[in-house]
Amino acid sequence: MPDTFNSYILNKNIKVDNFILGNKYRNEVLSDNTEIKIKDFGAGSQKLGKETRKIKNIAKISGSKLNFGLFIQKLIKTFEIKSALEMGTSVGIATIFMSYASENIQIDGIEACPETANYLKSKIKERNIKNINIYNNDFDSVFENQELNNKTYDLIYIDGNHRGEYLLKYFKILKEKHCSTPCIIIVDDINWSNDMFEAWRELTKTKNATFLNFYRFGVIFLGHNLKHGVFNVKFV
């Protein structure tokens, strides 16, 4: 499966300009000295303890790496993703990479911290980006208040809370209510802690699904015509 994956997805060509735009935004936030007040939900940050933090420090610790930006753009192109949900946008590096990946994609992002959400909204407005919508609330409230209504998504990226029991809880809700058929779910930080790793192992018991383990993150294919099982993929 890894060889098939490499030839099927990682070797796909994307529009270079789209990647450059995503990287330009990433470089911008990595040098932004703006300070914002952080309200942490879930497990919080293991490396950023201060309540007031600089954008560049948030981006350095919690922002998506460059190779992940390339990966997610290729994933969106390969599977012709039209709708995506990102749970935990932070300052929006992955969000912006997804936005530039396709003219046909619509992205809903959830970010609980008010000042972080407002920062990303301001950057979206600066760039006149029309395909991103941000919900400023915690995950539980979004689901309990049914803020997503009956929306379903081709791609879901879970990057927040970082507690195993909640990962399992959110996966169940997403699978039952918000997954298109087929659907791809990316789970970040699967080796963040023992309980996150154990939760990931529990997810891999899901029937009729394909799991790719990239060590830092995992990818779940639901309803796709791919070989079933759990596969480890080297990701440089």
Residue entry with tokens 């390969």 = 78
Supply the pTM of this predicted model: 0.92
Which one-letter DSSP state was computed for residue 233? -
Q: What's residue 41's pLDDT?
A: 64
More confident residue, 176 or 10: 176
Does residue 107 contact residue 148 with C-beta atoms inside 8 Å?
no
Q: What's residue 1's pLDDT?
A: 58
Report the run of H or E that residue 54 belongs to, with start and end.
strand 52-54
Residue entry with tokens 């208040």 = 145
Nearest Cα residue to 174 out of 162, 161, 200, 156: 156
Q: What's residue 9's pLDDT?
A: 63
Average pLDDT over residues 65-71: 92
Query: What is residue 121's three-state secondary structure?
Result: helix
Does residue 196 contact residue 162 with C-beta atoms inside 8 Å?
yes
CA distances (Å), 154 to each of 1, 106, 205, in order?
21, 10, 21
Determine how many CB atoms are found less than 10 A away from the CB of residue 215.
11
Beta-strand relationship, 132-135 and 106-110: parallel
pLDDT in tens, 206-221: 998 999 999 999 999 9
Determine how many CB atoms are found less than 10 A away from the CB of residue 122.
11
Does residue 172 contact residue 137 with C-beta atoms inside 8 Å?
no
d(CA 181, CA 196): 26
Domains and CATH numbers, the chain: 2-232 (3.40.50.150)
More confident residue, 75 or 14: 75
What the block records as the tokens of 79 is 């599977």
Q: What's residue 47's pLDDT?
A: 47
